[in-house]
Amino acid sequence: MTTQTGHTEAIAASRVIGTLVYNTEGTHIGDIEDVMLDKLSNGIMFAVIGFGGFLGIGEK
């Protein structure tokens, strides 16, 4: 779908994966590891967020 300014409302999942996630206080709490899609509604069901660890080791 295109907006009035000609921009699309869609974004590739590959652009979202790796995005940093912050809590309401502005503290970095993790990053988006994956995006789960709802096959019935064709929408995003939820994002999987990785947190903790160092260089990917021990991350949950």
Average predicted confidence (pLDDT) for the chain: 82
**C-alpha distances in angstroms, 25 versus 4, 30, 51, 60?**
34, 14, 16, 21
Domains and CATH numbers, the chain: 13-50 (2.30.30.240)
How many whole angstroms separate alpha carbon 5 and alpha carbon 13?
A: 22
Q: Are strands 20-22 and 28-38 parallel, antiparallel or unpaired?
A: antiparallel
Could you tell me which residue, 5 or 13, shows the higher pLDDT? 13
Task: Spell out the residues 6+ positions from residue 27 whose beta carbon is closer than 8 angstroms to its own.
Answer: none
Is this model's pTM higher than 0.75 or not? no
Amino acid letter, 4: Q
